[in-house]
Amino acid sequence: MAAPLVFNTQFDPKTGMAVPVAPGLLRVTAPNAGAYTFTGTNSFLLGHERLVVVDPGPDDPAHLAALERAIAGRRVDAIILTHTHRDHSASAAQLARQLGAPLWFGGPHRLSRPLRRFERNPIRSSCDWDLVPDRTLVDGEIIEAGDVRLSVHATPGHCANHLAFGFGDILFSGDHVMGWNSTLIAVPDGSMADYFASLDKVIALPHASYVPAHGGPIADGPGYAAALRAHREMRNGQVIAAVQEGARNVPQIVDRIYPTQPLPVRLAARMTIMAHVEYLEMLGRLSVSRGVFGTRIAPR
């Protein structure tokens, strides 16, 4: 049985400073704190004399300047991305040009499934659609760049091209597992079925601690990921119960599950609850009909 899920919101990012996390690993947090980014996006520098940059972050001159100070003239062999949401990738092309470094990630941004008729991607403007990698990273390969070796793990769910990277005992978990909150899953950009499968995958990997792209390190990564999984299963049960009690659309389900939460939380909840509904429909546990006037949900 998984331990209870406890979020850690006590994190001092020391925004703009190069903060040592482990030998050969520095964190520089961008000044883009917000409802969906917590204290800001964490960029990482790996290596000693030669470096790899992970998730260079938003297109922000102050953050780019902070990264350049932390790089301190050392050679950067590659810039790699966990995924192509703009809070992680918007500065990648510019930094790659400035440093003369190649850009590596899991392929251009793509949806987890095709858009349905009358459907839109609710986070379309947050996606870096035009960014193209110099090298497409694939599940299971080993990156040798800078002074380090990284293992590549495909972890779709938050979005289709999401990757995690193993670095010794550490897993760079991106937005797949974060200690400050559960991950936003917004269909069709993301997929709850993929997210569950990727949680199972990282739990089984031989990495003890997780370093996420927002918030602080997670000491027991697999244990925390198991708690996140149990939390999502609990949410599945709440969605089914709400529908059995008469909720027939996502706003009604959100009203029952999040009756007192502030608006930003409820807006994110609507997206993730839709992902839960789609997942439960796939499992045959809910009946869903879609049309020009919206989605209607019923028990099975």
- CATH number, domain with residue 98: 3.60.15.10
Same domain, 243 and 210: no
Any domain includes 286? yes
pLDDT at res. 266:
85
Any domain includes 108? yes
Same domain, 189 and 247: no
Query: pLDDT tens digits for 29-74?
Result: 999 999 899 999 999 999 999 999 999 999 999 999 999 999 999 9
How far apart are alpha carbons 187 and 193 in whole angstroms? 11
User: How large is the average pLDDT for residues 185-213?
Assistant: 98
Residue 214 phi, psi dihedral angles, 5° rounding: -140, 130
Any domain includes 9? no
Query: pLDDT tens digits for 233-289?
Result: 999 999 999 999 999 999 999 999 999 888 878 888 999 999 999 999 999 999 999
pLDDT at res. 293:
81
Same domain, 207 and 112: yes
How far apart are alpha carbons 37 and 87 in whole angstroms? 8
Residues 6+ apart with CB under 8 A from 81: 54, 55, 88, 89, 92, 103, 104, 105, 106, 163
Same domain, 150 and 26: yes
User: What pLDDT band is residue 1 in, cutting at 50, 70 and 90?
Assistant: low
Same domain, 185 and 237: no
Same domain, 202 and 109: yes
User: How large is the average pLDDT for residues 205-221?
Assistant: 98
Same domain, 153 and 289: no
Any domain includes 121? yes
pLDDT at res. 118:
85
- Domain limits for position 165: 19-220
Q: Left if phi > 0, otherwise alpha if psi is -120 to 50, otherwise beta: which for 249?
A: beta
Same domain, 119 and 254: no
Same domain, 270 and 136: no
How far apart are alpha carbons 189 and 21 in whole angstroms? 31
Q: How high does pLDDT run on average in the chain?
A: 96
Is the pLDDT confidence value at 2 over 90?
no
Size (the chain), residues = 300
**DSSP-assigned states of every residue in the chain:** -PPPP---------TTS-EEEETTEEEEE-S--BTTTBT-PEEEEEESSEEEEE---SS-HHHHHHHHHHHTT-EEEEEE-S--BHHHHTTHHHHHHHHT--EEESSS---SSPPPTT---TTGGGB-TT---SEE--TT-EEEETTEEEEEEE--SSSTT-EEEEETTEEEEETTS-SSSPPP--TTTS-HHHHHHHHHHHHHSS--EEEESSS--BSSHHHHHHHHHHHHHHHHHHHHHHHHTT--SHHHHHHHH-TT--HHHHHHHHHHHHHHHHHHHHTTSEEEEEETTEEEEEE-
Q: Give the chain's domain count.
A: 2
Same domain, 148 and 243: no
pLDDT at res. 82:
98
Domain CATH number, residue 273: 1.10.10.10
- Domain boundary (198, 220, 242) is at 220
Same domain, 120 and 49: yes
Residue 281 phi, psi dihedral angles, 5° rounding: -65, -45
How far apart are alpha carbons 63 and 17 in whole angstroms? 9
